[in-house]
Structure formats: structure tokens, C-alpha cells
Structure 1
Amino acid sequence: MSRGAYLVIYGILIATQSFALPPSSRPLPFEIALWPPYQLYWLVSLSVGVFVCGKIIILAERSRQKHLWDVFWVMGSFFLVVLFAGLTEQSRAGPFDDNLSRIADMASLTLLPISIPRLAESRPELTMTIRVGFFFKWSGIFMLVHYLISGFWFYTWEYNGGKAEYFDGHRVLPALLVYTLVSLATLYVGIAFWLAKDRLPAPQRQTISRLSRVAIAFIIPMVAIDELRFLIPSLWVLYPREDCFVLPLFYMCTSICVLAYVKVFAESHPHRDLIIPNLWLDLGLSSREGEVATCLAEGRTYKEICSSLHISIGTLQTHIVHIYRKLHINSKTELILLSTKKVNSSENF
């Protein structure tokens, strides 16, 4: 999609959030969880998440790329965080257990430091000298076990025993550790993408750049509003009504950017098993042109192709001109779509 299309989508999502704001005439004690536009706002966010996760599954299955499955686990974990946060909001006025949804929300949040580092480690281009994925993985598992045990303890000894009515595990030190792990894991993957930016195709760089801008635009205000005000009470004056009002919009905008990245990656990285050796010969290409076409369909850069086939950039460009002319196409994207179409038709046959 073009830049203008993304701006239109972001505008619609922001308008959805603005529509969910209660009227200023409402008194501050007004329970926003009972406000129908606010409930619709959360429902739209979750619907976008279901759609995006479904599309990622389809593209991952078609391309058979492990990296796309890792993207799915990250967005699936993020979806659970948003889902349980929404249930926590509705528990104020609905049938859901506030404490149970808070425990589930923090438990699902611990899945993010487990899944996020896998994004960098499942792509050779993003491999860094220092690999710390194991640290985030076991730290996340430790915090997950902690919240499962603390939640069980709360319900068994405090909540049911009448000693406490409110689970505050989302505000104490363990929660701070989880937020820190999520932030560091995200930073780790961000650095990996930044260091590999020259090795990534231009469309992927564009989608990653867009995603990073969305993350910076939302994460800083969310931290300032939702977390720091527990340390600085005066910040309550800035946003007294709702502590999760930004989360659904952040999730929707992030999901749109991730979906764009997944589409670009799936188009430029078809599974190598899908490239049938005789495919290019059947389409009229020479064996050498078939090798070049295979490299292009795998999403390799010109520099990588020249190094792999031991040819100059001029020879490569000549081969590409002949390939495009023989196949009646004008771009690498059309080449990828053509190869995928031919392979799918062969498999169906």
C-alpha cells in the first residue's frame, strides 16, 4: 500500500478511538466500561488482531517460512495481552473476574520476551555476534511460572480467605521486571534489524521503518501515562479516566504494520522447495537464466546473486533483462508471483 493509504487507515483508527471518548459533560466517576462506543473500540481492536493473525497463518503456511510463524507467535501473544486487558476493563461492570483477568494479562505478557527474540534468530540476515535469546526465553518462562503460582496463591490463601480483594501483582516489582524484559527484547530485535538494514530488500526496510515509527509514537506516551503515574501521582491529573485507553489503538496500528511486513517477506522469501528446478526450463529460460531467476525468487540482493554465481553486476543485469523479456514481466515481484503460481498449479495437478 502507498503512504497515503496508511495515513487513511491510521486516521480511521484514531477516529475510532476519539469516538470512544465519553462526553465531557459526564462526571469523572462515570464508568467508561459501560460506555458502548468504548466497548466497540475494544471489539474493533480485537477483530483487527484476529484478522491479522489469521492472515499471518495463511502466509506462513503458503511460504513455509519459520520466520513468519515466529511473527505469528509474537502477535498472538500480543493479542492475548490486549484480550485480557479488555476483559479487565469490562470486569469493572461485567461478569468477568477482575483479579483473574489481571493475572491472565500479566501471564500472557510474559510470553512476549519469550517470542520476540526469535524474530531475529530465525532470519540469517539478522544474526548478531551476541545472541541473548536464551536469556529472554528462560527469564520469560520464570516470570510466567511466577505469575501462575502467585495467582494460584492469591485465590487459595488471600482472595477466598477474605484477606484481600484485589490482586496488585501487575504493579509491584515482578511487573516491573516483565515490562523491562519486554522492552529489552524489543530493543534487541530492533538493533538486529537496524544492523541488517543494508542487507534487507527495500520494501522490507520501508515496512520495518514504518513499524518502528509507530512503536516510538505509542510506547513512550503509554509508558508515561500508564506506568509512571503509579510512581508520580501528579500524572493522574493528565489522564484520570482510563489507564488502557491507548492500548487498543497501539495494537491496531502495530498489527497493520506487521501485516505489511509479513506480506512483503512472504513475497520475497518463498520456500526453496517451491522452486522446481525444471520450472524455468519449461518457461523457456536457459539453465543460467534459471539460476538467476531462482535467486531472484528467493529474495536475494544483486550483490548476493553476483557473489553466489560468480558473475559481474553487468552480466547479472543482462540476464535479468532476458528473463523479464522471455517471461513477459517487468519486476521481481511479478517473477515471484509467477513462480508461486506455477508451483501451486503443479502441486494441484
Structure 2
Amino acid sequence: MRRVLGFMTGTSLDGVDLAVLETDGEAKIAFGPWDEQPMPPDTRNLLEVTIKAALGWKRGAPEPEIFADARRAIVDCHLQAAAKFLAEHDMTFGDLDLMGVHGQTVLHERPKDGVAGRTVQLFDAQAFADATGVPVVSDFRQADIQAGGEAAPLMPVYHRALVQNAGLDLPVIVVNLGGVANITAIEADRLTAFDTGPANGLMDQWMRRHDRGDFDHEGRIAASGRADEAALTAYMAHSYFQAAAPKSLDRYDFNLQAIEGLGFEDGMATLSAFTLQSLLAGIRLTGVTPKTVILAGGGRHNAHLVAQLREAVAPARVILAEDLGWRGGALEAEGFAYMAVRSLKGLPISFPGTTGVKAPLTGGELVRPCGAMETA
């Protein structure tokens, strides 16, 4: 068993999730403390500019200069968040055996038409290890993308461990409602996962565009509007929904163009309906009739969306991660702590049914303080 601090910063740029896990990277999992630290506004602003530069980055060209600035800012943000978190829980970096850090995704392109995918998670693991004195596993997605996989989603291996430990009747579907929604279908002999479409990302953008805050609290604004059927049809006509699984998305594969002419409430209602319809299409694509659907990620707080999903998938029960004693806001940070240990042990973190690789594959790179990088 190792005590690991895991970190996750999502594409919504809302903050840093931190969670301590004691695990062997297999069946043994014990929860430690966790927290969500807000991302400093200056860091968010820098990352928004960095993402725009990444979207215009042509293959084969030198990486945008702003990437170096963003890496430093992300490391500083993680250091501040970790120091505050550990102090609040009477811990120090010396109490940790390892850290697992996802880094900030600024670009994700899935393999398409014979062209390999690209994925970029900005971080400086060596600087972070040197500053903390703790070994760091990061860059979890590169091995998979280099092997021809989608490099996403990676959480299924952790979802499966949690579901097995909970003793739930299979099949079970775990839904993560982050900037992008992804699902994991867990059967007795099969693991299937993929991104289903936008979740919070577009809705949060719409809120910020109208200076109404960062998110729609409990989905109240969406509930007050009326979905525009033409815009919804346009969204669902996207080629992604005709593609076979496994498959993955970048948050910016979809935009607000289809709802530009709508009022604020109707636009939000349309985006909420799009999240629901794309999620239901994803569940159908798995070919699984789940007994239980478990919701994690920030979107689990959207009461309007959750109520609609419950109605749509009945008689399957829809529960929140917390109903099982899980921490819905911590799941991804926990997952990268769990995968950090699997990486050390050479155990797989991606599979043919989750990322499309030909065989189960490990991933992640280990960096030791004041030492050279080595493949874990």
C-alpha cells in the first residue's frame, strides 16, 4: 500500500482537485482527505490564452512559446493548492510516498482517418518533484496515443475497482459529468468506455458569456427555458455521434454557434438537452442495459439534468457517487493517484474497450526529485 496524493485539473478550468488515496493499485483502496481548490483567476486567464494557441498549433511546428509560461503557472498553482491542502489536514509532503498529476489538457485530437491523435497535458513534473521532495507520476496519456489509442478516457480502470469493491450487481454504468461527459460500462467480462459529448463545458461558457457566473446552479436556468429543437438537431447531427466506440473528445470539438440567436434561458435549456441526449445516445451505444447508473463530476449537482436522466433510464436506478460512500468531486484526482501506483507496477491503465489500443497498456512517466525522468 502506498499513500498517494492525486491531482486533477479539468477542461472547465475551475480549479484543482486533490485527493489522498492509500492503495496497492489493484483491489485495496482506502480514502484519505480530499478538497477542491479554486484556480487563481490569473492562471485561468493564462490557460484560456494557451488553449487558443494550442488549437492553432500545426503538427510539426515548434510548440507555442506560451506553453512554457503555462507550465510554470500550473506548477505554482499545484504547489499552492497542495501546501494549503496538506496543512489543513495536518500532513506534509513527507507523509506521501508518491503523487499522481494529470496536468492541464490544452489540446486533444483523437485518431482519425489513419492520422494519429495528439494530446497535450501541460505540467513540469521535475520542477514539482524537486519542489516537494516527492516522486511524481504524470503524462499518463502519451503511451496510449503513441500506441494508436484515443488516450481517453482513463478513469475506467478506477471505476471498475470501485464498483467491484462496492459489490454492485452488474452491469453498472459510471458517468462522469465534467467539461466533457464520459461513461464507463462495467460488465462481468468487459469494460467499455468513451466520451459521450459535452457536459458542463458549453453550459459554463454560455454562463460566462452572459456574465451570469461560472455555472448554472442546480440547472435552474436551464429548467426555466425551452430547448430549441432545430439547434438540438444540429448538435446531434455532428459526425462524432455516428463514430464507433471507443472514441474521445476535446472540450472544444463543440461550440456555441448553434444557439447564438437564442435567449439566455433557452440557450441554456438547449445545451442541457444536448448533454442529456448525447449521454443517452452513448448509453445506447454501449449495448448495455444497466442496473445502476452512478453519477460523478460537477454535473451531478445539476438537479434538473439528474431528474431528466432518472426519468429517461428507468427502471435502472440513478444514484450519486456519494450514495455509495464515494466522493463525487474527488473521483478523478483519486483515479490518477490509483493509476500512479499501477504505473509504478507496470499494470495497465488503458484497454481495447476504453481507448482502442490493441492490448492492455500501462502508461505514465515517473520523475524522482533531483533525478532523471524514467518511464514507469
TM-score, length-normalised on structure 1?
Answer: 0.30
The structure that is strand-richer by fraction is: 2
- Which has the higher relative contact order, 1 or 2, with Cα contacts under 8 A spaced 6 or more apart? 2
In terms of Rg, which structure is larger?
A: 1
TM-score, length-normalised on structure 2?
Answer: 0.28
